[in-house]
Amino acid sequence: MDGYMDVLPGGFAGRLEVIEGRSGRRRWSDEEKARIASESYRPGVQVADIARQHGTTRWQVYDWRKRLAKGLLALPAEMRSPQAFAAVVVEPDEMHPVTAPVSSDGIIDLIMGGITIRVGMSIDEAHLVRVIRAARTATAAAR
């Protein structure tokens, strides 16, 4: 026989221990995953530090971050920020009279909110509509 271990000829050492309980593998609830992933988004925090604090790995935290971003994990209610809604008030545009003086050579001047559009009588209606819309957009953006 080998002096290293007293082994019976059949290979059985004579004693077998069955250890019950945790396997060493941590089971995280979805709320815990979401909470840890959201912690890793704080400014100045490194994912590796968060993983170390919670006894997990960086790649696991990155996976939870992806799942959180896709909506597969939901933050616990106490971590959600209150919904912030801004009131939107739509005011009608001030209607400035559009003057269109016609010159003797068939040119029309359209004056809208400080913009003058000079077009000839032969302009295509669809093209003129696009130009007027662009002018309105430009004047609205300038306000």
Tokens linked to 57: 């790995």
The pTM of this model reads 0.41
Per-residue pLDDT, 1: 47
Establish if 69 belongs to a structural domain. Answer: yes
Per-residue pLDDT, 21: 62
Number of structural domains, the chain?
2
- pLDDT at residue 3 greater than cutoff 90: no
- pLDDT at residue 75 greater than cutoff 80: no
Establish if 19 belongs to a structural domain. Answer: no
* Domain carrying residue 52: 30-79
Please work out, in degrees rounded to the nearest 5, the angle formed at the alpha carbon of residue 89 by the alpha carbons of 86 and 91.
160
Q: For residue 72, give the nearest of 41, 28, 34 by alpha carbon.
A: 34
Establish if 64 belongs to a structural domain. Answer: yes
Higher pLDDT: 112 or 99? It is 112
Establish if 34 belongs to a structural domain. Answer: yes
Write out pLDDT tens, residues 53-62: 999 999 999 9
Establish if 37 belongs to a structural domain. Answer: yes
